[in-house]
Structure 1
Amino acid sequence: MAGLGWLVLALVFLDEVLAAVAAGVWGAHAGGVVLAVLAPVAVVAVWWAFASPKARWSGPVVRPVVKVLVFGFASAGLWVSGHHTAAVSLLVFSVVVNALAQLPSVRALVAEPVAP
């Protein structure tokens, strides 16, 4: 069962990377190269500060709200960029993977200390 849990965690990471990529796609569509670079950097900074497992300014309310905003805006950015199938796919993938990450067996993997 641990293997499935690690797979879910890997897919959660992939989802986070896809959100940054989606921000870059939107940035390129909306403002060119500069925004294509700045938008993913902003997504990564917000994620690091508020939604990552070791986020400095996180909490039981802040983390889920930021996750919803990041994945929602990433999907919306793909939608307005004309990538409708990718937008819906990202949104569905984000919901499913993050729901699976809430399973007790998956959450226990994150809580385990890593052996030196």
Structure 2
Amino acid sequence: MSAILGWAVLALVFVDELLAVAAFGIWGWDHDPRRLLVWVLPIVAMAVWFCFASPKAPYGGPLVRPLAKVLVFGLACLALWDAGQQDWAIALLVFSVVVNGLAQLPSIRVLVDER
């Protein structure tokens, strides 16, 4: 697989992470009359991602990293579903599975390992 395609997949993984954070904001907007959760939930999701799921996560590991990713993306999809955005929830789930699955291909993983 070419490096350009590999970097495109990694860019889509980043977009996927941003969409997950936005999903938590949407749920917060829908469920908190004070709108505090619009900011708090995305910040918590980013903190979990930084600590456990990012490539340089201080507490990540071969078991913790995938578990944190499933937790963040799964809860983001549930948040969209609960906010009445069922079609977007399914789209996010499918997109997340596809791009994160592609990112596990050896030809793409080597791009991350080189950095």
TM-score by length of structure 1 reads 0.95
Question: AA paired with 2:13?
Answer: V
Residue 31 of structure 1 and its aligned partner are, at CA, apart by 1.2
Residue 91 of structure 1 and its aligned partner are, at CA, apart by 0.4
Residue 2 of structure 1 and its aligned partner are, at CA, apart by 0.3
1:7 is aligned to 8
Matching of residues 67-82 of structure 1 within 5 Å: 67-82=69-84
SS at match of 2:62: coil
SS at match of 1:56: coil
1:25 is aligned to 26
Matching of residues 13-92 of structure 1 within 5 Å: 13-32=14-33, 33-92=35-94
Residue 112 of structure 1 and its aligned partner are, at CA, apart by 1.1
TM-score by length of structure 2 reads 0.96
How high is the sequence identity, in percent, across the aligned residues?
A: 57
SS at match of 2:55: coil
Question: AA paired with 2:20?
Answer: A
1:110 is aligned to 112
Residue 59 of structure 1 and its aligned partner are, at CA, apart by 0.4
4+ long deviations beyond 3 Å: none
Question: AA paired with 2:29?
Answer: A
Q: Give the whole-Å Cα distance in 2 for the aligned partners of 1:92 and 1:100.
A: 12
